[in-house]
Amino acid sequence: MPMNISQPHDLLVKSALSHKEVMADLLRGRLPGKILKRLDLSTLRMEKRSFVSDNLRASHSDIVYSLKNGGKKGYIYLLLEAQSSYDKTMPIRLMEYNCRLWRMHQKNSKEDAMPPVINLVLYSGKNPYPGPKTLLDCLQNP
């Protein structure tokens, strides 16, 4: 997967998170224990796929890992933001990426059920992320 991120610190982060030991440490530090206990981090495997559209590739990059989740296949989708501003449609973009990932999985798997996807977004802004964090946050009067 080419690393064509425009910011040097983003390239460094992507390079580091391309090592499964570093990704496992990130997951141990950020995921709730209830989720973490279901994941078999020893099965982490970086997938050679990207789901970021071509027009966003200069400022965004992604890493996809697969791993066993409750004994079955699951995915961790990591989106690296190379900008310090937020995208008010981030949850919608993540849903689009998840759908692409599920389509790929369905094409290559005999299973009918889709595996869970854990989305992680690394935001590099100076202040806390001001935008919506869930799909529900994007809806009017949910």
The pLDDT, as a whole number, for residue 116 is 87
Beta bridge partners of 121: 79
Report the chain's C-alpha Rg in angstroms.
Answer: 15
Residues 6+ apart with CB under 8 A from 79: 52, 60, 61, 62, 93, 94, 97, 119, 120, 121, 122
The pLDDT, as a whole number, for residue 42 is 94
Angle of CA points 123, 142, 97, to nearest 5°:
40
- One pLDDT digit (tens) per residue for the chain, 142 residues: 444 445 566 677 778 888 999 999 999 998 999 999 999 999 998 887 776 666 665 555 678 888 888 888 888 876 555 456 678 888 998 888 888 888 888 888 888 888 888 888 877 778 888 889 899 999 988 7
The pLDDT, as a whole number, for residue 88 is 87
